[in-house]
Structure 1
Amino acid sequence: MNLTVTSAAVDWFRQEWGCVPGDSIRFFVRYGGVSTVQDSFSMGIAKEQPNEIGISTVVDGITFYMEKDELWYMNGQGLTVDYLAATDEVDFKLT
């Protein structure tokens, strides 16, 4: 199980959220919304320091992570986070 954040997504976080090395971006599970990962749930995003990291990756000094208690969402698979310029949105896919 791994977390991959594409360079397009990292660039988007830098431009839209002003992320710099040392920042942390949390991906978390929300009830409701539209998702290609789990029915009735979707991913949320927050710029906050981790509590208990379950999975993470560091790209250009920015830590991207999910908390340990939310890893069930991934069903034992990896998660790829991408930015889709055509729709101007962050995209989540199990890998």
Structure 2
Amino acid sequence: MNLKVSKEAAEWYKNEMDLKQGDYIQYYVQLYGGIPTVHPNYSLGVSIGKAENIAIKDVVEGITFYFNSDDAWFLEEFDMEVVFEKEELEFIFHKK
């Protein structure tokens, strides 16, 4: 149950969302629509978050990327990697 965000992906978030060092990006589980995942009928949403209820995190380029404890189940059997390749974010799930 790990989250890894590449430096290039963190830079993309910083530029696209006008983030500053010390900001938080929360990944959250939603039904349908959004970032496709390995869980049928579930997808990921992304929002600027807060420093509370953090269960899984990775700090890159001064930005904390995380899942809160309500959504941590989503990575119970997986590690998630966020990379930026070919001018696009890619979300990779690795089965444990």
Q: Work out whether the TM-score is over 0.5.
A: yes
Partner of 1:93: 92
Q: Is the 8 A contact 1:26 1:50 kept in 2?
A: no
Instruction: For 1:55 and 1:36, locate their aligned partners in 2 and report how far apart those are by CA, in whole Å.
Output: 17
Stretch deviating more after TM superposition (11-20 or 23-32): 11-20
1:74 and 2:71 equivalent?
Answer: no
More strand by share: 2
How far the C-alpha of 1:84 sits from its partner, in A, is 3.7
Partner of 2:2: 2
SS at match of 1:14: helix
Paired positions, count: 93
More helix by share: 1
Partner of 1:24: 24
SS at match of 2:70: helix
Instruction: For 2:59 and 2:11, locate their aligned partners in 1 and report how far apart those are by CA, in whole Å.
Output: 14
Q: Which amino acid aligns with 1:14?
A: K
Structure 1 stretches of 4+ moved >6 Å: none
Structure 1 residue runs of 5 or longer lacking an equivalent are none
Q: Is the 8 A contact 2:25 2:65 kept in 1?
A: yes
SS at match of 2:28: strand
1:7-40 deviation line (CA, Å, top 9, x unaligned) = 2211111111111111000011110026232110
How far the C-alpha of 1:69 sits from its partner, in A, is 1.4
Partner of 1:46: 47
Instruction: For 2:93 and 2:20, locate their aligned partners in 1 and report how far apart those are by CA, in whole Å.
Output: 26
What TM-score, normalized by structure 2, do the two folds share? Answer: 0.84
Structure 2 residue runs of 5 or longer lacking an equivalent are none
